[in-house]
Structure 1
Amino acid sequence: MIHSLFVINHLGDIFLEKHWKSVISRSVCDYFFEAREKAVDPENVPPVLQTPHHYLISIYRGKLFFLSVIQTEVPPLFVIEFLHRVADTFQDYFGECSESVISDNVVIVYELLEEMLDNGFPLATESNVLKEMIRPPNILRSVVNTLTGGSNVGETLPQGQLSNIPWRRAGVKYTNNEAYFDVTEEIDAIVDKSGTTVSAEIQGVIEACVKLSGMPDLTMSFMNPRLLDDVSFHPCVRFRRWESERVLSFIPPDGNFTLMTYHISSQNLVAIPVYVKQSISFFEAGSCGRLDITIGPKQTMGKTVEDLKVTVHMPKAVLNANLTASQGNYTYDFTTKLLVWDIGKLNPQKLPNLRGSLSMQTGVPNPEENPSLNIDLKIQQLAISGLKVSRLDMYGETYKPFKGVKYVTKAGKFQVRT
């Protein structure tokens, strides 16, 4: 299925390549580089590109492109999912997925890729199984391997690879048994200058950290599961029970994993947590303009808005900004034309305001270069969709684990039209 894999940094340099069949020349990536130059942002590069003899399927993670070369037609989402598994495995093994970390652990990287793909087809993609076959790097193991000539590759095949539960390793034992779940939601929204929501949707994910002994069987119930109409599950989830009862039933992997992701696009279910009053104007005569932005809480269920940040992409004609912030501080980069107002925690009793003058070249900016205002925020202990976990039960084991659920709301692509 997958013939070759190229890992490309944000500068366009291929710093790692892996071939499972015959070697394909790097020149095949030229089609990808052409598409990258045409795209404004790296995220806008088409994930599937057709060339005269190959298909190029790629993802963008951590300022890196993972580009796979396919010789025959295959389901693109199948390949995209595998590439995300590769990036997740690097993240789990090395703590981050970056060019420097991959280059420093290139031997383990090649060992992982060799086990994850067999003759071009996915074989072992679960972190639990891979860690038993290829031990994660540490300083002591590196010193011992250097002195003894050993390797990180295990001598026996993991038991999980031979069972019908390949995502969980056998014989797990913990002194403290605990299971924690993070429900994180990101709001993607466009709001016009009058405050009316043009479009809004929620991207949600439930991340799990499960450290339980034995072979526990968990069930998770929600207070309002009908909110979730577009979901994607980890392979451990029993899909038939979800369809019939709207209950998550699963034997969890050991450690950290993504239990499920979901999408809510109905605007009547998406509550915008803040409102923005803004006025950005440019005078026809002279070389100046005015800016006035006020932001306040709207629907936060009494929770505090934290890490609040407003970014404004100014037109090229704006040279500088002379502003006064009632809360936080601002910076303006005249090279990138980016104004960043870092507010921090939102005080509902005293709404933050940013106002002042803009210095610019003579003449009104091009109307096609209207400022774009984006918001970044975080709200702890709140799922803006209203999703709530009602209970978590465990079967198959006799001990009582520690359990906890945390809710976080973040701003995804949150834009206010000026």
Structure 2
Amino acid sequence: MVSSISFCDSKGKQLLSRKYRDDIPLTAIDNFATLLMKLEEESSVVPPCLTHNGIHYLFIQHNDLYIVALTTSLSTNASQVFTFLHKLVEVMSEYLKDVEEESIRDNFVIIYELLDEMMDYGIPQITETKMLKQYITQKSFKLVKAAKKKRNAARPPQALTNSVSWRPEGIKYKKNEAFLDIVESINMLMTQQGQVLRSEIIGEVKVRSRLSGMPDLKLGINDKGIFSKYLESTSSNSNSNDDNSNEVNSSKSSTPQPSTGQDEGSSRKTSNVELEDLKFHQCVRLSKFENEKIITFIPPDGNFELMSYRLTTPIKPLIWCDVNIHVHSKSRVEIHCRAKAQIKKKSIANNVEILIPVPDDADTPSFRYSHGSIKWVPEKNAILWKIRSFAGGKEYSMAAQLGLPSIDDNEKPKLKRPVQIKFQIPYFTTSGIQVRYLKVNEPKLQYKSYPWVRYITQSGDDYTIRLNG
């Protein structure tokens, strides 16, 4: 449990604080600036948790702020605390737009209201912005207070007192639809010779809910080894759940195949996928998932992230580039690049961007290319090759020549920056995750729903090729 939450400036001095428990003195946060300064002098890396006189300071940094949680208990769930701090910043961004020192000073009233509602006695309570905005409102940096008369007073929505605090009652739509996006981002580091040094898949299951009433959704996902370490048994449930599956409208023509129903031992032996991280939205019933491999939930209204996962598994490059850079007499540099889409022929990579670094003093570029478009980006000291549509198995090439200052004393220019690649491949997932069914049930209204599923694989923030030299 958390004893207090404090907002501090870039030097660690307190701007605002909310105390939830009486086990720490009011002056405890004053030691944070001293501890921070001492650690910054000793090391360039400051850990996110500091301890002094039996008080633990768990903090995150956002813009010019430190958001600090203080606790005295060794049994405090640190991951829960950090998750709450990030969620607090996310909620405040909806109210203040920019969460920084100046906005904190201008919005004390709103922030205290949020801290009171989002946490009670040091335990997180309400973290859904849509629910908070129903009775905490603000305009022009000032909280819109309700009238003093009781009949006009703003009251918490009834949903906050129910078990489903993230969804209000009485939602109605003319057409009931649920959109499911499975988005996988690939981070990969490769050598110029094509060797993969590091690769990971970061997946997100995003939902856009436009459903009336209080629907109960059941989502079945095939087991390709992704979730096997969380499950005790898969064989009996895989067969029984197939009978309840609903038809899922998908923009991909092929229908996802159900799980083969392997037992736990064989599933672990045949799987080469290792799950590093798995997070669910608070609406998911975790016990149901652990026991039956089924994700059941009552969704919030609108857009939200149902779950996220991270896989560290060897995969081949989806978009590969062979880049060769030659410097001639220190007066010009030639760049040859051959790009290949190493995906199935029926798949297409869209909006491919290949950013190739050039020496800082390069100028007067000229290009030759077989496909797409190329432009020089001097502010990034790079050339950008764009390919709008890149079909699987296709291969394209380009060549560029740029001038360099002709000074004999200069060393040969070295390019320490990597080649960066961006792309997006629809109807495709690298991990093999697929939706077997999505069932929507609203016991009172009994309406027909239209679920849609879309798969997208894209480059992550770090899909790069390291150049030699």
Instruction: Name the TM-score, length of structure 1 as normaliser.
Output: 0.78
**In the aligned structure 2, how far is the partner of 1:286 from the partner of 1:313?**
17
AA of the residue aligned to 1:19? S
Q: What is the aligned counterpart of 2:346 among 302, 305, 324?
A: 302
Task: Indicate conservation of the 8 Å contact 1:308/1:378, yes or no.
Answer: yes
Distance of aligned partners of 1:66 and 1:159 in 2 relative to their CA distance in 1, 3 Å threshold: farther
Task: Indicate conservation of the 8 Å contact 1:238/1:248, yes or no.
Answer: yes
Q: What is the aligned counterpart of 1:374 among 407, 420, 430?
A: 420
Task: Indicate conservation of the 8 Å contact 2:360/2:381, yes or no.
Answer: no
**In the aligned structure 2, how far is the partner of 1:131 from the partner of 1:36?**
42
Q: What is the aligned counterpart of 1:389 among 435, 440, 458?
A: 435
Task: Indicate conservation of the 8 Å contact 1:296/1:346, yes or no.
Answer: no
Query: Aligned to 1:18, what secondary structure does the other structure show?
Result: strand
Whether 1:273 aligns to 2:318 is: yes
Distance of aligned partners of 1:173 and 1:197 in 2 relative to their CA distance in 1, 3 Å threshold: same
Whether 1:254 aligns to 2:301 is: yes
Query: Aligned to 2:463, what secondary structure does the other structure show?
Result: strand
Task: Indicate conservation of the 8 Å contact 1:313/1:372, yes or no.
Answer: yes
1:5-404 → structure 2 map (5 Å cutoff): 5-6=6-7, 12=10, 17-21=15-19, 22=26, 24-25=29-30, 28=33, 31=36, 48-50=48-50, 52=52, 55-59=56-60, 67-72=67-72, 73=74, 74-92=76-94, 99=100, 107-135=109-137, 137=138, 145=144, 155-228=154-227, 229=275, 230-267=277-314, 270-282=315-327, 286=330, 288-299=332-343, 302-312=346-356, 318-325=360-367, 326=369, 327-333=373-379, 338-339=381-382, 341=384, 343-348=386-391, 351=396, 353-357=398-402, 359=404, 362-365=410-413, 370-397=416-443, 398-404=446-452
Number of aligned positions between the proteins:
393
Query: Aligned to 2:366, what secondary structure does the other structure show?
Result: strand
Distance of aligned partners of 1:120 and 1:358 in 2 relative to their CA distance in 1, 3 Å threshold: farther
How much identity, in percent, do the aligned residues show? 24
AA of the residue aligned to 2:294? V
Distance of aligned partners of 1:380 and 1:271 in 2 relative to their CA distance in 1, 3 Å threshold: same
What is the aligned partner in structure 2 of residue 410 from structure 1? 458
AA of the residue aligned to 1:416? I
1:89 Cα deviation after fit: 2.1
**In the aligned structure 1, how far is the partner of 2:153 from the partner of 2:399?**
59
Q: C-alpha deviations, 1:275-315, integer Å up to 9, x for none?
A: 111113456x646544333323111663332333333556x
Q: Which has the higher contact order (CA 8 A, sep 6+)?
A: 2
Distance of aligned partners of 1:35 and 1:13 in 2 relative to their CA distance in 1, 3 Å threshold: closer
Task: Indicate conservation of the 8 Å contact 1:207/1:257, yes or no.
Answer: yes
**In the aligned structure 1, how far is the partner of 2:352 from the partner of 2:14?**
38
**In the aligned structure 2, how far is the partner of 1:358 from the partner of 1:66?**
47
Task: Indicate conservation of the 8 Å contact 2:65/2:100, yes or no.
Answer: no
AA of the residue aligned to 2:17? H
Over the aligned positions, Cα root-mean-square deviation in angstroms equals 3.9
Distance of aligned partners of 1:319 and 1:300 in 2 relative to their CA distance in 1, 3 Å threshold: farther
**In the aligned structure 2, how far is the partner of 1:32 from the partner of 1:133?**
40
1:16 Cα deviation after fit: 9.2
AA of the residue aligned to 1:324? S
**In the aligned structure 2, how far is the partner of 1:138 from the partner of 1:287?**
60
**In the aligned structure 2, how far is the partner of 1:355 from the partner of 1:384?**
33
1:82 Cα deviation after fit: 0.4
Task: Indicate conservation of the 8 Å contact 1:2/1:68, yes or no.
Answer: no
Query: Aligned to 2:453, what secondary structure does the other structure show?
Result: strand
**In the aligned structure 1, how far is the partner of 2:348 from the partner of 2:13?**
44
Gaps of 5+ in 2: 20-25, 228-274
AA of the residue aligned to 1:341? L
1:131 Cα deviation after fit: 2.8
Gaps of 5+ in 1: 40-44
